[in-house]
Amino acid sequence: MDSGLSKTLERAETDLTNSINGLKEIDGLSVTETIANCQLHGEYKKWSRKITMMATIKTETICPVCAKEKVDQIKQQIADKKAKTKELEITKLLSWAEIPKRFELCTFDNYLPGNKSAERNLRICKAYAEKWEDRLKNGGGMVMVGLPGTGKNHLAVSIMKEIIKNHQHYVLLTSVNKIIREYRSTWSKDTTKSESEVIAEFSSPELLVIDEVGVQYGSDSERLIIFEIINTRYEEMRPTILISNETREQLAEIVGERVIDRMKDGGGCELVFDWESYRK
């Protein structure tokens, strides 16, 4: 919080307390009580205390209603400022999340489950977002596998947006291809970015969603970079969500059973999307 504003609030609160309880006698300096008149609120009891040392310092209490209004007004200012800061933070994090335009409007509310499995997946994703703090503490990720057009991205993006809105955490949507592109860019002559910087880049978000995890994995070193990222995140207990069109078994072959297991550590889970595409 703004320290200037919080000091102002402290002072106003002291004024309010004094206006109700009166001033205390200090060092034998007597306190006098009179009835004063506030132009807005009428008569009130006023306490005064005078100290004369080099100069005379007079302390007087003010109208308690005015004092209360002042405190409320500062509290409101602080709340407004906080809300504004939060709003800016959310806008920034939404842009950092790299959610493609296509999914910008996706939320839990506009996901319409057409069958029991979809209902279940929606429920689990909602719970994931609601229990985010636990998930984050325990590094619990998720695996979403299944057929095209079934709403894997829709639900992953909904989770991301909830986390940004409610927790202002840094979440990022990426894909295996994007990671590999970043990794390859470190080979270029005119780049200063190193391999470990690429790993750090994808390890830093509190939640990383990796889309299109599938057979398109290229060389061994490319496979390794993906594993490095997942592993670094695992070790730092940062949740990762993997999305794939492969079956659970194929995915296990591609990324290794261990990786899938790691997603589930800390209360993560596996969701299967095995119905017809919503697209047509």
Binding site for Zn ion (CB under 5 A): 38, 40-41, 63, 65-66
Q: Judged by CB, which is closer to Zn ion: 35, or 40?
A: 40
Q: Judged by CB, which is closer to Zn ion: 12, or 106?
A: 12
Nearest in space to 16 (alpha carbons), one of 96, 89, 76, 73? 73
Which entry of Mg ion, Zn ion, ligand ATP, none binds 40, CB below 5 to 8 A by partner kind? Zn ion
- Distances from the Cα of 279 to the Cα of 113, 143, 150, 156, 188, angstroms: 13, 22, 8, 17, 39
Q: Judged by CB, which is closer to ligand ATP: 122, or 198?
A: 122
Q: Do residues 142 and 128 lie in contact, with contact meaning Cβ atoms separated by under 8 Å?
A: yes
User: Treating both helix axes as pointing N-terminal to C-terminal, what angle do 248-255 and 220-235 enclose, rounded to 10 degrees?
Assistant: 100
Write down the least CB distance from residue 211 to Mg ion, Å.
6
Q: Which amino acid is at 264?
A: K
Binding of ligand ATP by 149 (CB under 6 A): yes
Place of tokens 């005078």: 50
Q: Judged by CB, which is closer to ligand ATP: 189, or 280?
A: 280
Q: Do residues 11 and 20 lie in contact, with contact meaning Cβ atoms separated by under 8 Å?
A: no
Binding of ligand ATP by 278 (CB under 6 A): yes
Q: Judged by CB, which is closer to ligand ATP: 93, or 157?
A: 157
Residue 262 CA to residue 142 CA, distance in Å, equals: 9
Scan residues 116-175 and list those touching Mg ion (CB under 5 A): 153
Residues lying near ligand ATP in the complex (CB under 6 A) are found at: 106, 110-114, 118, 148-154, 245, 273, 278-279
